[in-house]
Amino acid sequence: MASDSGVGIHDLSFATTEFVLPHTALAEHNGTEIGKYHVGIGQQSMSVPGADEDIVTMGAAAAEPIVSRHGTDRIRTVVFATESSIDQAKSAGVYVHSLLGLPSATRVVELKQACYGATAALQFAIGLVHRDPAQRVLVIASDVSKYDLDSPGEATQGAAAVAMLVGADPALVRIEGPSGLFTADVMDFWRPNYRDTALVDGQESITAYLQAVEGTWKDYVEQGGRSLDGFDAFCYHQPFTKMAYKAHRHLLNYCGYVTDEARIARAIGQTTAYNRVVGNSYTASVYLALAALLDQADDLTDRSIGFVSYGSGSVGEFFAGTVVPGYREHLRTEAHREAIDRRQPVDYVGYRRLHQRSLPADGGDHPIPAQTTGPFRLAALRGHKRIYERCYR
């Protein structure tokens, strides 16, 4: 059995891309009033991958600081969650395993269920640690959110990776039972194998999200969870940050509370800082919200956080975590801000060029232009194989 201190998130680190497109540039291109972006959906900018960046390079960049701090000896499993997978068979985590030099005695698997996948990975990891408290599990959530140019979803694009080390006696957040679960067969958002960009029914997706909020909360209460007043903050999946406000307002109303804008702001305001400037990071979104909350709040020691994870299609989960004493000594606040600040602004023409770029599919030898200043890059395609390398600078 795990120790009395429980199981949870022992370390957390995130990475994003080389470039950033301000929403002012997007608004100037399409003639949209900037308030529609800054206020209407709550977004300021979106991360844009360079030609040599993808879910593997971001995932490895997010995980490297964790491996550097804690070593590799106790990592027995890598779970890679994504909905923008690069291969139908091979886990993206296997590339990360190689780039980070993890031991061969490691299981590696990729999980998928839209934006919910990282929560499935976290729960999988918790179960493994309960079975063997001596081991730790590296959970990586990495995604590139991509929609058609000039489509309604274009302004909600983004890209980021979050890596979490899950173990007993966690230094950051102890994850607690029970969980509230909900699944419904809904076609609100999907990406067929023959498409590079997702298809989305915006209004249907909002409706499905709110339905999942109700369903997960109802099940959570029925499973013996704490009352709504027992939480000090909430981390929601944020396809755009205004959705978190909409979802929490819906939950309050569903539970019979009078909607209080100040109360909503206190509960989720600090969770939106990173998502607001990174954009939708799909599986990483909830945990990017957690990073923002931990990095900004004055003191969350022994405070309870509600997690609301949603993945279109649709699957949702509500669960609770408690911030452990001494957590601030283990935060990576400066590194997280550096990851955001180091991005190079790109104009709309440059962004459009990157968006329209596609990798050759002829199996030839194709070097990839060097653009990232990050620690890892996609160097080439050779014989239908992706070649990654560490960048030494």
Write out the catalytic residue numbers.
83, 115, 237
Residues 6+ apart with CB under 8 A from 154: 26, 147, 148
User: Which candidate, 242, 245, 251, places its Cα nearest to that of 215?
Assistant: 251
**CB-CB contact of 293 with 270 (8 Å):** yes
With tokens 């498409």, the residue in question is: 195
Strands (E) in 153-278, as ranges, are 158-168, 173-183, 189-190, 199-200, 233-236
Question: 74 vs 39, 106, 132, 168, 201, CA distance in Å?
Answer: 45, 10, 11, 11, 43
Mention every residue, 6+ apart, whose C-beta is less than 8 A from residue 328.
Answer: 299
Residue 263 to residue 6: CA distance in whole angstroms? 30
115: DSSP letter: B
User: Do residues 163 and 284 touch, judged by C-beta distance below 8 A?
Assistant: no
SS3 160: strand
Q: Residue 199 — left, alpha, or beta (φ > 0 → left; ψ -120 to 50 → alpha)? A: beta
